[in-house]
Amino acid sequence: MSNINLIDSFQEFKDFKNIDRPTVISVLEEVFRSMIRKKYGTDENCDVIVNPDNGDLEIWRTRKVMEDGFSEDDDLEIELAEVRQYDADLEVGDDYIEQITLESFGRRAILAARQTLVSKVLELEKDEIFKKYKDRVGEIVTGEVYQVWKKETLVLDDEGNELIMPKTEQIPADYFKKGDAVRAVISKVDMVNATPKIIISRVAPEFLQRLFELEVPEIFDGLITIKKIVREPGERAKVAVESYDDRIDPVGACVGMKGSRIHGIVRELKNENIDVINFTNNISLYIQRALSPAKITSIKLDEESKHASVYLKPDQVSLAIGRGGHNIKLAGKLTGYEIDVYREADEEDEDVDLEEFSDEIESWIIDELKAIGLDTAKSVLALSLDDLVKRTDLEEETVKEVLGILRSEFE
């Protein structure tokens, strides 16, 4: 029965896909040698033969035949009178080789060995998983959602290894349920309490880079290089690309015919807006491209403080800033410059549409002003505080605040 228990253990080892066969044999042999040392004091004169495929185990012990009364170490030597009981042909000086059965170690020793075997192999398995994934940081992995918790999601890879995707590493619009297939990039691998903790991410810039490598052969082949990626996950991303072949348009190659290549990436990222721009060492031009889709009029650079003052027509300001300020924030991250946007007004363009102030004035206030025919900044400023309070349903404090914002525009 004890022998069967150990053979069952061998069968378990075959299920560990991350451990190679020589390593398994080495572990098994070491465990059995430990058992031999405990029982006989040494394993120097023992051979352990393990076959992990079918659980076969053979232990052979060799002792030197000595004259009766001259044996000094029973673990290494055996007297002639004793050995003749097993083999009548042996003489003094010969080697006596005997097979040791598992049962001879005793039930307790066998159970302890089984426990040691399982724990050692589990430890090896964890080490192998750690090494495997440590070398794959930055790669895309596909897995199946196994469990969804409030702060993280547990994903299993195709070998059943556990991957953790914290809520902070998920796109805000991500929604997963058990059984869903999910793609992410391996962002961090640590050993926590002797167990590998593999963190995967869908918000890391590397995830977007790997998606581009999958969709755009020219990037995978090295003809186009991604110089930098900045993201506001789920909202917007900017990707600077450069081609080493003048015949290849890097932006066109990344976008694809009618957007065929980039559409798949956008869908994967839950409709994140992706701006692909040509990288250049000309900082002014780089900032201009980074602020796309806005068209800028002029730029003043302070290279020492890494500061850029960008001037635009009033109708381009909101485009440059972008919804929630994402466009200008990402342009700054991409170029490494702090960017300030200024409206450039001329004689014909002095007035500013109220919609341009939507970042500073709430939309319902703008609607209230438009309802009485005021749709530009100067049309509002042309009226007194009392007139505005009487003609709208706005509080006096609110009107004062609006007038302050509009006046600062023309100061």
Are residues 262 and 290 part of one domain? no
What pLDDT, in 10s, does the model give residues 169-186?
A: 999 999 999 999 999 999
Are 251 and 146 part of one and the same domain?
no
Can you tell me whether residue 252 is helix, strand or coil?
helix
pLDDT at position 175, please?
Answer: 92
pLDDT value, residue 54: 60
Out of 111, 132, 153, a domain closes at: 132
Specify the CATH number for the domain of residue 265.
3.30.300.20
**Domain assignment of residue 300, given as a range:** 280-349
Q: What's the number of domains the chain is made of?
A: 5
User: Could you tell me which residues come within 8 angstroms of residue 251 by beta carbon, excluding any fewer than 6 positions away?
Assistant: 241, 276, 277, 278
**What distance in Å separates the CA atoms of residue 3 and residue 107, rounded to the nearest whole number?**
9
Residue pLDDT, tens place only, 194-247 = 889 999 999 999 999 999 999 999 999 989 999 999 999 989 999 999 998 888
Q: Residue 145 — pLDDT band, cuts 50, 70, 90?
A: very high
In this predicted model, what pLDDT tens digit does every residue of 12-32 receive, in sequence order? 555 555 566 677 777 778 888
Give dist(CA 242, CA 248) in Å, integer. 10
Residue 2 has a pLDDT of 42
Q: How far apart, in whole angstroms, are the C-alpha atoms of residue 308 and residue 305?
A: 9
The 8-class DSSP code of residue 102 comes to: G
Residue where a domain stops, chosen among 305, 324, 349: 349
**113 and 50, same domain (yes or no):** yes
Phi, psi of 115 (to 5 degrees): -65, -40
What's the whole-number average pLDDT of the chain? 85
Angstrom distance (rounded) from CA 3 to CA 9: 10
Can you tell me which residue has the tokens 């709430």? 362
**Are both 292 and 371 inside the same structural domain?**
no
Say whether both 225 and 275 belong to one domain: yes
Tens of pLDDT along 69-126? Answer: 777 777 788 888 888 888 787 888 888 888 888 777 878 887 887 788 778 778 888 8
**Do residues 192 and 215 share a domain?**
no
Q: What is the mean pLDDT of residues 349-357?
A: 77
pLDDT at 40: 83
Express the helix, strand and coil content of the chain in percent, nearest 5 each.
Answer: 40, 25, 30
